[in-house]
Amino acid sequence: MAGKQQGAESRRVYSAAGDEIVSRKPVLVTRYRGFTRLNHWITAGSMILLLLTGFAFFHPSLFWLTELFGGGQTTRWIHPWIGVLLFFSFLGMFVQMWHLNLPNRDDVEWAKKTRDVLQGNEESLPELGKYNAGQKTVFWGMAGAIVVLIATGMMIWEEHFPFLVSIPVRRVAVVVHAATALGIFLLFLLHVYAAIWTRGTIRAMTRGTVTGGWAYRHHRKWFRELAQRSTGKQAD
């Protein structure tokens, strides 16, 4: 019986958190479940649509973007509703991931060695959990910006909240909303660039898995924890 288990080409071991190591050649590690990946792409799609519809009103030179959505009136109508979708979609991700993005001492050490990160010298970096300090910064930055956007968006959504705030406050809300939108756009670009720059990362959100080598190199503490759980499951 033991020989059959050792000789099996593929064996899947589940962890309590839903992550798993798939023992095969090469070793694959499940990083995101299907629900999480769907949630991520809805959030990303909403973000892109919001940026396009929002920038259409950001400056007159960008008004041509409204033609992508059927004209100015249609774009003005759908923009806030996409914002509502983004808020609840990101809320779903927040509930799943907030505890994994809490800062710790490893993040401080990682941030001190930013040069090594940029040079790809990861052997000098501390072993990391599922997310590094850069990913956590993007996560909390996105979370804060989306809260500001939904709050200021409601203030300037005259169709449904005409008397929520005074006109002077609404004018300030418009400026804050636009500035925050620009900030979240930069965070979004940083997120996309980092995903492309770190080879193998996009696979995690398209297929749900990463290779064992990728996990060991970039998130070694997380990989070790999964390996320990797997060993415990096999022993049981």
Active site residues: 191
Q: Would you state the structure tokens that stand for residue 59, as one six-digit string?
A: 């400056």
Q: Residue 79 is inside which H or E element, if any?
A: helix 72-97
d(CA 202, CA 149): 27
28 beta partners: 22, 211
d(CA 201, CA 217): 12
Q: What are phi and psi of 204, to 5 degrees?
A: -60, -35
Query: What percent of the residues of the chain are helix, what percent strand, and what percent coil, each to the nearest 5?
Result: 70, 5, 25
232 burial via Cβ count (<10 Å: 0-12, 13-18, 19+): exposed
d(CA 208, CA 7): 26
